[in-house]
Copies of this chain bind each other. A is one copy, B any other.
Amino acid sequence: MSRIPVLEVFGPTIQGEGMVIGRKTMFVRTAGCDYRCVWCDSKFTWDGSERARLLTPEAVWAELVALGGRRFNHVTISGGNPALIREPMADLIRLLHERGIRVGLETQGSVWQPWFLEIDDLTLSPKPPSSQMTTNWDALDDMVGRLRAGEVNFSFKIPVFDEEDLAYARRVHRRWPDVALYLSVGNPDPAAPGDVAKTLLSRLAWLVDRVVRDEELVAVRVLPQLHTLLWGNCRGV
């Protein structure tokens, strides 16, 4: 039986960012990532600090129902990079759809999986320079082409920390002007305790101001992370 390395199942809560911001959803967070973003807010998915549980899709479903009862019809698959998992993830998505659940995915777009074509709300989140990761533009080109051909409902979400990141967002927008582009306020210190709302709102104000004055970033959306505004850097909400 195929199994998924799962670090967290939680919810119901709301999606905090991107194309389905505010949507009531459950989260399934997988272990493992091919990236090492310096500001990653989920380093526990790849730094070895936590052991994943290997769960069958049926076991994941049982946990979702135990937590969410009849109070959800949307599940967000996040990571780490869930695209590192092939067959078991395809099985989970099939199972969720059979039960009438809508499925969202968040991935950086470095690895393709055929089951991307089954996702209802797909967020491609290529990482800007502040992450210290390198984008493979050809791979991303290929991915966008496949998602378009498959008529998948997808968007870009780029966290923006500084001017270099903004230049990166412009480059993405120039290359794929017809793909919805969400700019997300960077969270500079995802380990900071307490109420970080003030810091994040002042960063949001900065990002809005920059975008408002920009002639290239026109058909874009600027959004905060609602979960961080609400609950700071707490996990599992």
Contact = CB atoms under 8 A, between A and B. Distances in A.
A176 to B, nearest CB: 16
Contact of A208 (B201, B204, B221, B230): B230
Interface residues of A, number: 39
Contacts of A213: 71
A79 interface: no
Q: What is the predominant secondary structure among interface residues of chain A facing chain B?
A: mixed
Interface stretch (A18-26, A32-40, A104-112, A128-136): A18-26
A14 interface: yes
A221 B21 contact: yes
A64 to B, nearest CB: 13
How many copies, total?
2
Contacts of A71: 212-215, 218
A212 B27 CA distance: 13
A28 interface: no
Contact of A24 (B22, B217, B224): B217
Given A13-B212, A215-B71, A230-B205, A220 B24 contact: yes
B229 A226 contact: no
A13 B222 CA distance: 10
